[in-house]
A and B are shown apart, each in its own frame.
Chain A
Amino acid sequence: RKEVEQDPGPFNVPEGATVAFNCTYSNSASQSFFWYRQDCRKEPKLLMSVYSSGNEDGRFTAQLNRASQYISLLIRDSKLSDSATYLCVVKAGSARQLTFGSGTQLTVLP
């Protein structure tokens, strides 16, 4: 079983749609969770951290379910510029290394 699993997609949605991505992780000792965004042929960039209580940043909402070892990202009112690969990232405790999922590809269509 992969340490961090994501549906690779692709997700093709029209502008204005709401889209949700899910991610599961296998290490129950994981303590920090993130969503990164990676544009084609560019480096990953932090989109948002994921907190136990859930958090929202504009059109983006992240949720964490520790019991099910599950993280989600919801994007409302999709824009063309949201087209990218979204990476689910997990860190276990004080470990320095991040564990990345393979990413979910999103294309927002005009």
Chain B
Amino acid sequence: ETGVTQTPRHLVMGMTNKKSLKCEQHLGHNAMYWYKQSAKKPLELMFVYSLEERVENNSVPSRFSPECPNSSHLFLHLHTLQPEDSALYLCASSQILQGTDTQYFGPGTRLTVL
């Protein structure tokens, strides 16, 4: 399935590096999301872009910076990360409708911070 793609699939970086995660959705959706999944913890919503509005989880550190240039592309810029930021970062998209709007996930980027 190629509805939501993410690159890179794996990333190892040092604490002083700057890198970016990329997500692209081919489903014509109007909302995109970044989630963090750490071992043994529930998925944690980081950022939402919908209808040109950005919503963020206030607990996300400023070393994570999202960018959404259009409805099909979403980036997560990373800088001066910490080892505890190592996790699976999942992108999702949905079509906002009245009532339910199902989210479809990309395969994720597995990030390791050394």
Residues of A within 8 A of B (CB): 2, 4, 31-32, 34, 41-46, 49, 87, 91, 96-103
Residues of B within 8 A of A (CB): 31, 33, 40-43, 45, 48, 50, 55, 90, 96, 99-108, 110
Residues in B with CB closer than 8 Å to A101 are 42
In the complex the two chains form, is B106's CB within 8 Å of A43's CB? yes
Residues in A with CB closer than 8 Å to B105 are 43-45
* Number of CB contacts from chain A to chain B under 8 A: 48
Residues in B with CB closer than 8 Å to A32 are 99-100
Residues in B with CB closer than 8 Å to A91 are 100
Main secondary structure of the interface of B (DSSP, over half): loop
Main secondary structure of the interface of A (DSSP, over half): strand
Q: Could you give 18 example pairs across A and B, Cβ below 8 Å?
A: A32-B99, A32-B100, A42-B108, A43-B105, A44-B43, A44-B90, A44-B105, A46-B103, A46-B104, A49-B102, A87-B43, A96-B31, A96-B33, A96-B50, A97-B33, A98-B43, A98-B45, A100-B42
C-alpha spacing A99/B110, complex, angstroms: 21
Residues in B with CB closer than 8 Å to A41 are 110
In the complex the two chains form, is B102's CB within 8 Å of A34's CB? yes
Q: Nearest-CB distance from B5 to chain A (Å)?
A: 11
Closest A residue to B1 using CB positions: A45
C-alpha spacing A42/B104, complex, angstroms: 13
Ranked 10 nearest A-B pairs via Cβ: A43-B105, A100-B43, A100-B42, A32-B100, A97-B45, A96-B48, A102-B42, A43-B107, A44-B105, A96-B50
